[in-house]
Structure 1
Amino acid sequence: MSPIGVQLYVQDRLVVMDNGILRVTLSNPEGIVTGIQYNDIDNLLEVLNEEVNRGYWDLVWSSPSSTGTNGIFDVIKGTNFSVIVESEDQVELSFTRTWDPSLEGKLVPLNIDKRFVMLRGSSGFYSYAIYEHLKEWPAFNLDETRIAFKLSKEKFHYMAMADNRQRYMPLPDDRLPPRGQPLGYPEAVLLVNPIEPELKGEVDDKYQYSCDNKDSGVHGWMCTDPATGFWLITPSNEFRSGGPVKQNLTSHVGPTTLAVFLSAHYSGEDLVPKFQTGEPWKKVFGPVFIHVNSTFVEEDPLQQLWEDAKMQMMIEVQSWPYSFPASEDFPSSYQRGNVSGRLLVRDRYIGDDSISAAGAYVGLAPPGDPGSWQRECKDYQFWTQANDDGYFSINDIHGHRNYNLYAWVPGFIGDYRYDVVINITEGCDINMGDLVYEPARDGPTLWEIGIPDRSAAEFYVPDPNPKYINKLFVNHPDKFRQYGLWERYAELYPDKDLVYNVGVSDYSKDWFFAQVTRKIDNSKTYQGTTWQIKFKLDNVNKNSTYKLRLALASTTLSELQVRINDEKANRPLFSSGLIGKDNSIARHGIHGLYRLYNVDVPGARLVEGDNTIFLTQARGNSPFQGIMYDYIRFEGPPSSSSSKKNNV
């Protein structure tokens, strides 16, 4: 521990926390972080920005009658400041904004309490917030909330969010005309005359740096003179919406670093919580840790800073739930409970015995239908990943709540839900024993395309147009993050749409990662596309029902129609109707919200010999509409004597 205790200085218009390692200045009573002094740098934040645009909590809200995900942007400014804890070991500050009916229509109807915590010897500080909607208050939608930091653009040029996702970034001025040229949407900019010549011709787009919640523990920026890092560490995802594979923004040109707690990115309106009049609600977002570090190692200082940041992330994760938050709304470890067990999978067409659900994602979320957790956005969720034998342990679950236990298993379609509601009490330790998931299955697999893992990453992702390259993603496993890949489809299939031949085609080479629209000639008009799956059947039971299972990784304003052996049939055998607002094609996401459709195919529609399934995405208003498939399986009828599994 540092021999220097935490010092607090309160003035009329500012508050300062100082533990001898860093010095943090906040506006009084607004609670905006205006300065962070560390490692002989007077301010890590951008001093050219107005003070309200440096380090802040914000939200987007809208009226209950609004649709979509747009609303009123609000930087949350406290109106009252108080000291919650003041000692040499800890300072905790509170900046509150209280709502009353005179503010209706002007401010979001929430009481908001922003907290900032500094500990002795800590190279950083913590922040969390308590949002509360009282029963008698009006209805509203909460489209987004987060904490944001705008760093010194003179100092911070190198961004890191994973071992293989880090680079020197463009400057914010590079995005502005005439240095930058906007592309298909405002976030994507072609750097035509950047300040650093080596970046010329690259695309910058903040969505290229999105990340699944489960993979977004630490991200931030570094400068080299002096070698200094600024990191946002999220030690738990319990307070984030949408579960472990919900994607959010991280760090991007600015230099900007975000902790996003609630957003509609890669999901659309499904993940906008809508609060009704008379609906009480309270939630704690955070704490997150703002970590700063430095190094005196001259050899590869950026790597040293990154490795230290990852180490600090592990320390924070192991320290969760934190013992220091003073708010009674943040439950301590003894107020939480644990759930453990083992998940098995039984698919009678693979084998008679249950097998371990290796790598399964298992979680507790508010009660709902199977799979409802991915649209849940008001309460808390607690997730883990099972080991190779299917054993799982979910720890530190908020008590005094009811949950369902949910799971999904890579390699198997669908969602598991344990049907009995689980009540978590303080200190409980519940062992669920062996749980068995029986994924949807009617008959033997006649053929399949892809891997059931809720992602389209295994399909053919083309190289980008050389005019639109982000060099980070060249020869990178995440090549789907390149800009403009939707335009490559028409170049690969200029005259006819995709045709896939079962038993001959290879889905990693012959199944385009997204069924996108096609531009008509040189006009601004687009049309839907129809893909074909051709397959042979030696025998057909005309009196039985076959099953086509369509697992979708993402949909954007799409309508999926299925026809069998008659592309011109007036009525499709199946139509999804208009689905999806994920926008994952434009935002380089490779997945959004998961959907599974199970289509009955009458044997009378099939013939012995050559058959064709026509998959039509019927909507065509923009280049960004389309479907990403996760996995497709065609099953024989239950009475089929053949249970041979053909991998395609």
Structure 2
Amino acid sequence: MDKVGASRLRWLTLLIWFFFIVKLAAASRKIFQSENGKSLGVRLHKHHHRMVMDNGLVQVTLSSPGGDITGIQYNGIHNVLETRNREGNRGYWDVVWNSPGNHIAYDRLKGTDFNVIMEDEDQVELSFKKSWNFTNGNSSAPLNVDKRYIMRRGSSGVYLYAIFERLEGWPDMDMDQIRIVLKLQNDKFHFMAISDDRQRIMPMPRDRISGEPLAYPEAVLLTNPTTRQLGGEVDDKYQYSCENKDNRVHGWISENPQVGFWMITPSDEFRAGGPLKQDLTSHVGPTVLCMFTSTHYSGKDLNTKYRNGRPWKKVLGPVFVYLNSISSLEDPKTLWEDAKDQMSIEVNSWPYNFPQSEDFPSSDRRGTVSGQLLVGDRYISDKPMWASYAYVGLAAPGGVGSWQRDAMGYQFWVQANEEGHFLIENIRAGHYNLYAWVPGIVGDCRYDVIIHIQPGCDVQLGVLVYEPPRNGPTLWQIGIPDRTAAEFFVPDTYPTLMNKLFINQSTHKFRQYGLWERYSDLYPKHDLIYTTGISNYHQDWFFAQVPRNMGNHTYQATTWQIKFEIENATPRTGNYTLQVALASASASELQVRLNDRRAKRPHFRTRLIGRDNAIARHGIHGLYWFYSINVPSRLLRQGNNTVYLTQSRSKSPVGGIMYDYIRLEGPPETGPSVE
């Protein structure tokens, strides 16, 4: 071997050893931390107005008896929380509430009673209670709240949960929001990660303050940001919203030192509104949220009303605040990958066996429900079909689809396999209805029999058949019944109002700011006209029916047309059916007219519906609305016909509806029929 080859070999050997030492150091650090935590165990340091939990990896300081998180020490950072905030504004629980007819109020749920629930080298659990009685009047929410914090040996973080309770006879209230808020040091945490495809360097709080406010306070155009490449972008916390079923881990990364701070939510059982309910995650602050319930993407339609002195109790959490770190030589995005690994560990450990409250049942005090769901639609198949990948869940007894408007009870959801088989495990004792919906099939399914869950029970339901809304054969259809408007035309945003994170992301294109204004650009004088058999809903059906901007802050109601032909209409008897599924409604009213746009009385109207605000908040769906509209044969004619869809409310530029799916069915046919 010549000298050049020998030199290259030496450099290659040194490089291999360098990377080996880096990896060994990282592994050794993790082992050392684990062993160090194990040798130290968990210690509780009690001071007059603060409690400090320490397991050698993480040190958490809590105000006493208030129960706010005032400090988190980790990996050489004395406090990862924003120390420039007052102590009560760093890490806290709060609720948004009001007495009926009164103004909205905020309650930080400050504890008045502190107790050590458990204290040994393996685990410390602390309780901070807030109690209410009639002498409190309206000064605080009529709730008893027991905030709990758990630190465990060798665990790089802290668990949080709370027991909320209202006793019989207490006054009426609305509770619009329950959440945990953690505010990190804005000089350190600049990189935010929500999912594999939504992560980036974020603006600073001062960038928003100096920016240009847009249509609503949450949206700001960054005019002179600290990070120059963010200039000209829109920042809006709702652009980082997430559906419950996908919201398992999110958080922030500090570059110096390289530390990750993550909120891990291992279960949806305590969240409101079911798996499709959307809510906030992390946003500029840097702020980390854990949302248990809110009126975001639902409005007051989500059941937040506590009435008639009815008692109520619910355990929220536990959730896990997880911290991790790497050396300065490693890729900071490995912190995100490690956080996802930790999330999987937490999910697989659910329900936890270590919370000390009797109100949180362990796995052996829960039950299971299993079965197979089929779809019976004779116009598609003469035999029941598998309900492939259906979402199947247990929620409080109620009407069809009532689960999406329920905030009081627990919900337990799974996705069935290709053959419609489902297994729901770890269900809390109680009374439930079984609900479901099937991707590609319109409507909501409910099993009418109340299911009673007792500790240790195994309920086997066998084969269930869902018969979706159907009165006759399909004549035409627009969209995909998937409860969203994602398949329709989502325009490009204005170049001056974009968030570059979502450029070239077809699955997140709807998250750009100001898309509602694009309708007026595309249809400045005449509204959308769709011709069945010719038009393509991916390109020709705008994702939201909104008012037209007429200038001077005035807006005009819009009427969309669906043109279609009917052959051999005269010989047919019976009525037609228009099936309309809405993915969202906000301060809107849908009116349907058939072949007479100027008819004074519409053939069908919803009246005022919806407060989900999904159009403004980049949601692509809010609450699901379904209407099965009877169409007498006399209103249609052989040959050309037109359905007129009017969204008649025009007070707000962001009021309107998103369609999920529209289908016209012919009169019922006798005997079996397969499309």
User: Above 0.5 in TM-score?
Assistant: yes
| SS of corresponding position for 2:432 | strand
Contact 2:547-2:656 within 8 A present in 1 as well:
yes
Residue matched to 1:99: 132
Tell me whether 1:186 sits opposite 2:222 in the alignment: no
Q: 2:605 and 2:196 mapped to 1: Cα distance? A: 42
Does residue 1:600 correspond to 2:630, yes or no?
Answer: yes
Equivalent in the alignment of 2:114: 81
Separation (CA, whole Å) in 1 of partners of 2:630 and 2:265: 44
Tell me if structure 2 keeps the 8 A contact 1:446–1:644.
no
Q: Which residue of 1 aligns with 2:193?
A: 160
The CA distance in 2 between the partners of 1:530 and 1:182, in whole Å, is: 31
Question: TM-score normalised to the size of structure 2?
Answer: 0.93
Aligned with 2:341: secondary structure? Answer: helix
Q: Could you say what secondary structure the match of 2:189 adopts?
A: coil
1:351 alignment counterpart: 381
| Aligned ranges 1:447-596 → 2 under 5 Å | 447-476=476-505, 477-520=507-550, 522-541=551-570, 543-596=573-626
Matched residue of 1:76: which SS? coil
Match of 2:71 in 1: 35
Give the drift of 1:297.
6.7
Kindly indicate whether residue 425 of structure 2 is the aligned counterpart of residue 425 of structure 1: no
3-state SS, counterpart of residue 514 of structure 1: coil
Contiguous gaps of at least 5 residues in structure 2 = 1-33
In the other structure, the counterpart of 2:180 is 147
Look up the SS of the partner of 2:495 in the other structure: coil
1:6 aligns with 2:36: no
CA distance in 1, matches of 2:589, 2:673: 33
Aligned-residue offset at 1:639: 2.5
1:515 partner letter: Q
TM superposition shift of 1:397: 0.5
> Aligned match of 2:436 in 397, 401, 407?
407
- Aligned residue type for 2:359: D
Contact 1:297 1:304 in 2 (8 A): no
Structure 2 Cα separation of the partners of residues 641 and 281 of structure 1: 51
Match of 1:444 in 2: 473
Q: Using the alignment, how far apart are the partners of 1:552 and 1:640 within structure 2?
A: 30
Q: Percent identity?
A: 60
Letter of the 1:319 counterpart: S
**Aligned to 1:479, what secondary structure does the other structure show?**
helix
The structural deviation recorded for 1:567 is: 0.4
CA deviations over 1:233-290 (Å, ceiling 9, x no partner):
0000000110000011000000001000010000000124211242111111100000
What SS does the corresponding residue of 2:461 show, helix, strand or coil?
strand
The Cα shift of 1:640 comes to 7.5
For residue 16 of structure 1, what is the aligned residue in structure 2? 52
Does the 8 Å contact 2:97/2:104 carry over to 1?
yes
How big is the shift at 1:298? 2.5
Contact kept? 1:322, 1:332, Cα under 8 Å: yes
Answering whether residue 663 of structure 2 is matched by residue 627 of structure 1, we say no
Query: 1:359 is paired with a residue of what secondary structure?
Result: coil
Q: CA RMSD in A?
A: 1.2
C-alpha displacement at 1:299, in angstroms?
4.1
The alignment partner of 2:644 has SS state of: strand
- Matches for 1:171-320 after TM superposition, within 5 Å: 171-176=204-209, 179-296=210-327, 298-301=329-332, 303-320=333-350
Partners of 2:374 and 2:597 in 1: CA distance:
41
**Alignment CA distance shift 1:485-1:640 (3 Å):** farther
Alpha-carbon deviations, 1:98-125, whole Å to 9, x = none?
A: 1111101111111111000000000111
Deviations 1:370-407 (A, max 9, x none): 100000110101000001111111000001x1100000
The Cα offsets for residues 270-318 of structure 1, whole Å up to 9 and x where unpaired, read as 12421124211111110000000011272422x2000000011110011
Matched-pair contact (CA < 8 Å) for 2:126–2:149: yes
Give SS of 1:3's match.
helix
The amino acid across from 2:57 in the alignment is I
Distance 2:43 2:540 in 1: 63
Distance 2:452 2:260 in 1: 42
Report how many residues are paired. 637
1:353 alignment partner AA: K
Residues 363 and 641 of structure 1: CA distance in aligned 2, closer, same or farther (over 3 Å) = closer
What code does the residue aligned with 1:53 have? N
> What SS does structure 2 have at the residue aligned with 1:567?
coil
User: Aligned partners of 1:643, 1:336: CA distance in 2, in Å?
Assistant: 44
Supply the distance in 2 between the matched residues of 1:574 and 1:298 (Cα, whole angstroms).
Answer: 65
1:119 aligns with 2:152: yes
CA distance in 1, matches of 2:279, 2:465: 32
1: CA distance between counterparts of 2:92 and 2:303? Answer: 21
Q: Quick one: which amino acid aligns to residue 585 of structure 1?
A: I
Letter in 2 for 1:313: M
Structure 1 residue ranges (4+ consecutive) displaced by more than 6 angstroms after TM superposition: none
Aligned position for 1:57: 93
* d(CA) in 1 for partners of 2:405, 2:671: 40
Q: Do the aligned residues in 2 keep the contact of 1:586 with 1:624 (CA within 8 Å)?
A: yes
Task: Check whether the contact 1:342–1:433 (CA below 8 A) recurs between aligned residues.
Answer: yes
Higher helix share: 2
Structure 2 counterpart of 1:412, which letter?
I
Residues of 2 paired with 1:197 and 1:320: CA distance?
43
Paired AA for residue 309 in structure 2: G
Look up the SS of the partner of 2:260 in the other structure. Answer: strand
**CA positional deviation for 1:138:** 1.4
- The structure having more radius of gyration, on CA atoms, is 2
Distance in 2, Cα, partners of 1:136 & 1:543: 57
Is the CA contact (8 Å cut-off) linking 1:556 and 1:579 kept in structure 2?
Answer: yes
* 3-state SS of paired residue (2:300): helix
**Separation (CA, whole Å) in 2 of partners of 1:295 and 1:195:** 26
The answer to whether the 8 A contact 1:241-1:377 is kept is yes
Q: Deviations over 1:585-640 (max 9, x none)?
A: 00000001101101111111111111110000000001011000000000000038
Question: Is the partner of 1:92 in helix, strand or coil?
Answer: strand
Which secondary structure does the structure 2 equivalent of 1:222 belong to? Answer: strand
Residue type matched to 1:126 in 2? Y
SS at match of 2:497: coil
- Shift in Å at residue 570 of structure 1? 0.8
8 Å contact kept, 1:88–1:120: yes
Residue equivalent to 2:400: 370
Residue 616 of structure 2 aligns to a residue in which SS? coil
Taking the aligned partners of 1:151 and 1:175, their CA distance within structure 2 comes to 17
What displacement does 1:431 show? 1.0
CA contact (8 A) 2:485 2:543 kept: yes
Inter-partner Cα distance in structure 1 for 2:386 and 2:39: 51
Q: State the match for 2:30 in structure 1.
A: none
- Alignment partner, residue 339 of structure 1: 369
Does the CA contact (< 8 Å) of 1:445 and 1:644 recur in 2?
no
1:434 pairs with 2:470: no
**1: CA distance, partners of 2:541 / 2:670:** 29
Instruction: Describe the SS at the equivalent of 2:81.
Output: coil
Give the aligned residue type for 2:130: R
Deviations 1:166-209 (A, max 9, x none): 11100011111xx2110000000000111111111000000000
Q: Secondary structure at the match of 2:335?
A: helix
TM-score w.r.t. structure 1 length?
A: 0.97
Displacement, 1:3?
Answer: 2.2
Determine whether 1:25 maps to 2:55.
Answer: no
